[in-house]
Chains A and B, each alone.
Chain A
Amino acid sequence: MGMRVDLGEEIADLQGPGPGRGRTWLGRNWLWRVLSQSLQAKIGLAVLLFFVAIAVLAPWIMPYDVHTPVGPPYEPPSWEHPLGLDDGGIDMVSLLIQGGRVSLVVGFAATLVAMVIGGGIGIIAGYFGGRSDSILMRITDYFLVIPDLPLAIIIAAVWGASLSHLIFVIALLLWTTTARIVRAQVKSGRERVYVMRARSLGASDARIIFRHVLPQIGPLLVATVVLTIAVAIFDETALTFLGLGDPTAITWGSIIEFAFLRTAISAGAWWAVIPPGLCVAFVIMGCFWFGRAIEDALNPRLDVSYLSPRTFRVRPLPGTEPETG
């Protein structure tokens, strides 16, 4: 901040939170603007929508049933079965479609739970501060250091394997990061001049939170949600691979697990191993491209590099920069 504070609170307000690092407010229609400015955002969102569409349409577009064998084990790819068959003679394309459906549901549900818990606690801690804030910070401090996967493993191992347990275990790992991000943003958001004005006009805490603070941090929340989905899907495959998923559910994680356990490697059946991992990777990359594009738009400081000639320019003066950057 330094000298910027001297220029008046209003200008500091435009600069966004923190010591001149990034902002939260991108203006109205921010999503549209991020999408039109960034190729990465477009590709990322397109990839995500593609997989979501397939998951939604799964029952109508699955070429074969995922419980009836249609040929010999590990039959190589052919015209009828473009990705071959798995160890039970089941069509890989159908398996991938069905697996994607369940994997996405697990990823989205875990993210939803993590956002509700983490977002709620983050808002309370950031907005009201005081003791609830310091307790939250202590708890998350410890959770950040304790390694995630081993913790998830012991909870899942003792609790028993089912899809809903898996969702809650993953959410339990992810809520702390969300809570910290939301807390930091709410904390700086509540100090804005217009929030203070609203309060002096007699607005209630709930109104200030939902009408003034939350819309401010909207873009950042979307970026956090998208990046959390990526981690949740990654964790699902890892836990399922270790035998902690629902043994009856078909997910991308369980397809990889079965390929490992049922000797797809020694059978040379690359088609039973490679496609599920690529699907997971594409979804995660989609989340990553989209989420990072939003984060980049939130952090215009990174646009300034004094080394490369193309972006060689002096950082915009406080207050003179257009709202969209």
Chain B
Amino acid sequence: MRRADYLIKRVAFAIVTVFVAITLNFFLFRVLPGDAVRNLSRVPRASEEFRHSLEVQFGLDKPVWAQYLIYLRELFHGNMGVSFSDQQPVWNNLREALANTIPMAALGTVIAVAIGIVTGVLSAWRRGKTSDHVSTNLAIAFYSFPTQWLALVVLIYLSEWFPSHGMTDPFLIDPTPWEHLVDVLRHMALPSLVFALTLYGEYTLIVRSAMLETLGEDYVLTARAKGLPQRRIVVRHAFRNALLPTTTLIALSLGYIVAGAILIETVFSWPGIGNAVYQAVTERDYPMLQGAFLVLTVSVVFFNLLADLLYFKLDPRITE
């Protein structure tokens, strides 16, 4: 019963969060000064009738609540509006972009988590020694470097060896699936590397402090008193428990992953959702911007829910 309660709570929270984001999305574009939506009907030197007909066409003559309901209705039918810049449905553009972003961001994140766990565990184990100081301060440094700057630095020094721009080579004619895959992977190398570098520092610090917490627990003292070898204590007793706070914190860092995707894709012109956000900002393409915000929020909420469920699986105490 309690397990079901917990699950229902988490799912309900996720749904409400998405709803909050949708509502924010609607009102931000209408309430703030310089109202993006009203501008639609502001045509210079238009006659009063023409302006009015535009307002009717865009539904701006209706009260805000009616507009909100229309917005919700269209959203649930999968209509996010039409992009100003290429007149394509926003959802079609975003779906393609999201499909390009996910493999690149996932590769970078997986590498970052792997490195972060290894360096974090070793750092906590060797606490206070030189190797700990070096690895912790290196992690702080990579945590501090502005993402876009790190991408530019990588671009300066590594673009000789790997492609620096886009996702595929336009001069590759009729590639076999295998050639295509290799081409995409080569293009993926630099953006994923930057992704891993910007994220790993934070993960190292998270894992290190989670490990330090568990290494001070009484069960570690007990394990030590039983004469278990250190490696076994670290892997079986401390690390498994340190995984719990680590999952939560990594889930909370999903926002950084999204931020990283926007900045990194901008520098490398990776045709993903982050680059779509940047293009939408520079072209003031509000429907795209609105849609991208929604898609990004829903993905973060979804992965958060996934992390919650994982946590649920990892920690049986949660139902008590």
Once A159-B33, A242-B266, A274-B153 are accepted as A-B contacts, the answer to whether A153 and B277 lie under 8 Å apart by CB is yes
A289 touches B140 (CB 8 A): yes
- Bound Cα distance from A125 to B136, whole angstroms: 36
**Quick check: which of A52-60, A86-94, A210-218, A301-309 contacts chain B, the rest being far away?**
A301-309
Once A147-B259, A155-B32 are accepted as A-B contacts, the answer to whether A238 and B146 lie under 8 Å apart by CB is yes
Interface string of B117-144 (1 = CB under 8 A from A): 0000000111110000000000011011
- B34 near A: Cβ within 8 Å? yes
In the bound complex, residues from chain A placing their C-beta under 8 Å from that of B215 are: 304-307
In-complex Cβ contact of A308 among B20, B35, B127, B147 (8 A): B127
CB distance from B247 to the nearest CB of A (A): 15
A306 touches B146 (CB 8 A): no
- A141 near B: Cβ within 8 Å? yes
In the bound complex, residues from chain B placing their C-beta under 8 Å from that of A311 are: 127-128
In-complex Cβ contact of B148 among A244, A260, A310 (8 A): A260
8 A Cβ contacts from B273-288 to A: 277-278, 281-282, 284, 286
B293 touches A151 (CB 8 A): yes
- B162 near A: Cβ within 8 Å? no
- Bound Cα distance from A144 to B36, whole angstroms: 26
B155 touches A237 (CB 8 A): no
- A229 near B: Cβ within 8 Å? no
In-complex Cβ contact of A153 among B32, B216, B289 (8 A): B289
A285 touches B144 (CB 8 A): yes
8 A Cβ contacts from B203-259 to A: 209, 212-213, 215-217, 220-221, 224, 230, 233-234, 238, 252, 254-255, 258-259
B155 touches A265 (CB 8 A): yes
Number of A-B contacts (CB under 8 A): 177
**Quick check: which of A68-76, A108-116, A190-198, A275-283 contacts chain B, the rest being far away?**
A275-283
Once A147-B254, A158-B36, A288-B143 are accepted as A-B contacts, the answer to whether A256 and B149 lie under 8 Å apart by CB is yes
CB distance from A287 to the nearest CB of B (A): 9
- A270 near B: Cβ within 8 Å? yes
Q: Which among A151, A153, A157, A268 has the highest number of chain B CB atoms within 10 Å?
A: A157
- Bound Cα distance from A149 to B17, whole angstroms: 17
Interface string of B6-38 (1 = CB under 8 A from A): 000000010011001100110011001111100
- B156 near A: Cβ within 8 Å? yes
In the bound complex, residues from chain B placing their C-beta under 8 Å from that of A230 are: 144
- A146 near B: Cβ within 8 Å? yes
Interface string of B283-316 (1 = CB under 8 A from A): 0101001101100110011001000000000000
In the bound complex, residues from chain A placing their C-beta under 8 Å from that of B301 are: 145
In the bound complex, residues from chain A placing their C-beta under 8 Å from that of B29 are: 154, 158
Main SS at interface, chain B:
helix
Q: Which among A146, A150, A314 has the highest number of chain B CB atoms within 10 Å?
A: A150
- Bound Cα distance from A130 to B230, whole angstroms: 48
- A79 near B: Cβ within 8 Å? no
A154 touches B144 (CB 8 A): no
In-complex Cβ contact of A277 among B145, B209, B230 (8 A): B145
- Bound Cα distance from A74 to B216, whole angstroms: 55
Interface size class of A (residues with CB under 8 A): 35 or more
CB distance from B208 to the nearest CB of A (A): 10
Once A150-B277, A243-B282, A306-B224 are accepted as A-B contacts, the answer to whether A301 and B216 lie under 8 Å apart by CB is yes
CB distance from B205 to the nearest CB of A (A): 9
A273 touches B153 (CB 8 A): yes
8 A Cβ contacts from B141-182 to A: 141, 143-150, 152-153, 155-156, 159
A150 touches B220 (CB 8 A): no
Query: Closest A-chain residue to B216, C-beta based?
Result: A304
A305 touches B146 (CB 8 A): no
- Bound Cα distance from A157 to B280, whole angstroms: 9
CB distance from A282 to the nearest CB of B (A): 8
- A199 near B: Cβ within 8 Å? no
- Bound Cα distance from A268 to B282, whole angstroms: 26
In-complex Cβ contact of B224 among A155, A160, A307 (8 A): A307
CB distance from A44 to the nearest CB of B (A): 10
Once A145-B300, A146-B21, A150-B277 are accepted as A-B contacts, the answer to whether A238 and B293 lie under 8 Å apart by CB is no
In the bound complex, residues from chain A placing their C-beta under 8 Å from that of B126 are: 308
CB distance from B55 to the nearest CB of A (A): 19
- Bound Cα distance from A252 to B198, whole angstroms: 19
In the bound complex, residues from chain B placing their C-beta under 8 Å from that of A276 are: 149
- Bound Cα distance from A287 to B212, whole angstroms: 22
A260 touches B267 (CB 8 A): yes
B292 touches A150 (CB 8 A): yes
